Amino acid sequence: MSDDQKSLTIYKIAELSGMSVSTISRVINNSPYVSAKTKAHVTDIINKYQFSPSSVARAMTSNHTQTLGIIVSDITNPYFSELYLEIQRYAVDFGYSIILCNTFYGGSNHGVSDAIPEKTYFQMMLDKKVDGVLILGGEIDRDNISDSYKEALNRMGRQIPVVILGQSVPDCNCTFLNRNLSGGISGLIHHLLALGRRRIGFVGGEEGIRTTTARLAAYTQTLKNLAIPFDPSMISLSNYYAPDGYRAMAKLLEQTETTPTAIICMNDAVAQGAIRAIADKGLRVPEDISVVSCDQFPSGEYTCPRLTTLDQQNSYLGRMSIMTLISAINKDSEGINISHEPHLIIRESCGARQGFPFEH
């Protein structure tokens, strides 16, 4: 190796490539804000002069460990598992390893007593010296967040970048990626009405959670806007899993004086439970009751009948979340704005594929 190779620094690479030092740093740190052309040009210079800073040296000089913390409320929930797979894929592409923290905050699948306090993980992330933290679900999704939780979250946010896939919280020292929580609900209702369904119920979702609150508000407001009589007995909340969908649907069928002709479910898992409850009552989907879902899961296309649902673009949200976190770690000044619009996927469970409309 020549003396020039031994003495090559990031500043020399910038000089040789005609790029700024910050651009060279972004290339080395796999920033998502570097064009393929720029990255190829700088990489050619690096390879030519055999400049290869080790991860240890990079950590010493930049105080980075190339490790990310991901805090998930329930990795067994298909919504979060799909997000995580996309996050992991992009993290590896950018040279990061992941510490996954599962809080079991989901509730009914494991029992609330199993939940691990998120504040415990916040301190763990600082002790592990991760470069940044991404939070998916948990207490941050509640309508009312405790002061102690916010204080612990802000303490972590003052020391390392923290990105939250969720709705903004006032006085919170983090970066939020706001989803369109209620998007598509109005479209579902219009679609059911076009099929002749008028008695439309709502099942699943936990009370006091922002996603439930937003979707329920969109449901009631859309009915009001369309002058459809609103019947509170048509709503049966529970949680986000198939057993909850079963219980909520069974309760709805027992309590309502008039059987609903259509049901909007919180997600595909809830819809699967609801369909089983409908069948156990001797009713058929979609002939007697149309079933639609607010959130598509990978298994929805393989249920019987296949589920009409909303594609919430979970893979896209996961990708944008990790890009935002890596950008914050690299102190990129450009902000990332997401465009999140759910898309309606029409399958069999609403009845559209059976050649209806209905007359109910």
Domains of the chain: 3-53 (1.10.260.40), 65-180+313-340 (3.40.50.2300), 185-312+344-354 (3.40.50.2300)
* Backbone torsions φ then ψ of 99, nearest 5 degrees: -105, 115
Whole-structure pTM value? 0.81
Taking a C-beta distance cutoff of 8 angstroms, is the pair 270, 244 a contact? yes
Taking a C-beta distance cutoff of 8 angstroms, is the pair 264, 198 a contact? no
Q: Which of 238, 313, 334, 343 is nearest to 82 (CA)?
A: 313
Cα–Cα dist 218/261, whole Å: 19
CB neighbourhood size of 12 (10 A) = 15
Cα–Cα dist 33/39, whole Å: 10
The pLDDT of residue 3 is above 80? no
* Backbone torsions φ then ψ of 243, nearest 5 degrees: -60, -35
Rama region for 38: left / alpha / beta (φ>0; ψ in -120 to 50; rest)? alpha
Q: Which long-range contacts (CB under 8 A, 24 or more apart) does 183-187 make?
A: 183/310, 183/340, 183/341, 183/342, 184/294, 184/310, 184/312, 184/341, 184/342, 184/343, 184/344, 185/215, 185/218, 185/219, 185/222, 185/264, 185/294, 186/218, 186/222, 187/310, 187/344
Q: Which of 237, 239, 227, 226 is nearest to 201 (CA)?
A: 237
For 345, the token pair is 């996927």
Q: pLDDT digits over 311-325, tens only?
A: 999 888 988 899 899
Placement of tokens 């001797």 in the chain? 282
**Would you state the pLDDT for residue 261?**
96
My answer on whether omega of the bond before 117 falls inside 30° of 0, hence cis, is: no
What does the mean pLDDT of the chain come to?
86
Query: What are the E-state strand segments in 77-146?
Result: 97-102, 132-136
Exposed, middle or buried by CB within 10 Å (0-12, 13-18, 19+), for 219? buried
Find the helix packing angle between 21-28 and 10-17, rounded to 10°. Answer: 110
Q: pLDDT digits over 124-173, tens only?
A: 999 999 999 999 999 999 999 999 999 999 999 999 999 999 989 988 98
Taking a C-beta distance cutoff of 8 angstroms, is the pair 321, 83 a contact? yes
Among the ranges given (175-189, 294-308, 314-328, 345-359), the one the predictor scored with the smallest mean pLDDT:
345-359
Taking a C-beta distance cutoff of 8 angstroms, is the pair 60, 15 a contact? no
Q: pLDDT digits over 33-82, tens only?
A: 788 888 888 888 877 877 655 444 454 446 788 899 999 999 988 899 98
Name the pairing type of β-strands 309-311 and 343-345: antiparallel
- pLDDT confidence band for 336 (50 / 70 / 90): low
Cα–Cα dist 266/251, whole Å: 16
Placement of tokens 């415990």 in the chain? 120
